[in-house]
Amino acid sequence: MMTANKGLTHLDESGGAKMVDVGGKPTTRRIARAGGRITMKPETLQLIRAGDLKKGDVLGVARIAGIMAAKRTAELIPLCHPLPLEDIALELTINEDESAIEIGATVKTTGQTGVEMEALTAVSVAALTIYDMAKAIDREMRIGDIRLLEKRGGARGDFLAEK
């Protein structure tokens, strides 16, 4: 049995799950950037680039899915706070050399807690949407490298991932 939370903010003294109390934290500008990628067969990438998949504009739909997911993060991740998001931007870039689509999300708010989970959720759901739309022609696609790239604002200060 766990007797201490070992510094984890979502665990109480006895090791049980809890939502973090952000009531006493100052309201500040918060920005998070996350990234990830989905790798596929070159033929699949070309069909996506050309817009020739039966399900339509893969990149456009993935962008909208990522934005919608960021807005619903608190419904998906049990201990996340619902946040008033001020801006959500998704970039989907075709990387021909690696036969991949690079996904980047930037999320902004002014609040008492950060938007890291919203940015990570946006990237994850955008990648899953691409997979869903292209799985009929390529079930070997790989989703990966999803990570926080940058965080600004808050008591713990700024974070910039190593390359």
List residues with catalytic annotation.
132
DSSP 104: E
Query: Do the Cβ atoms of 125 and 143 come closer than 8 Å?
Result: no
Strand 142-152 vs strand 159-160: parallel, antiparallel, or unpaired?
antiparallel
* Run of H or E residues at 29: strand 28-39
Short-list 100, 76, 105, CA closest to 89: 105
For residue 135, CA distances in Å to 53, 92, 138 come to 10, 18, 5
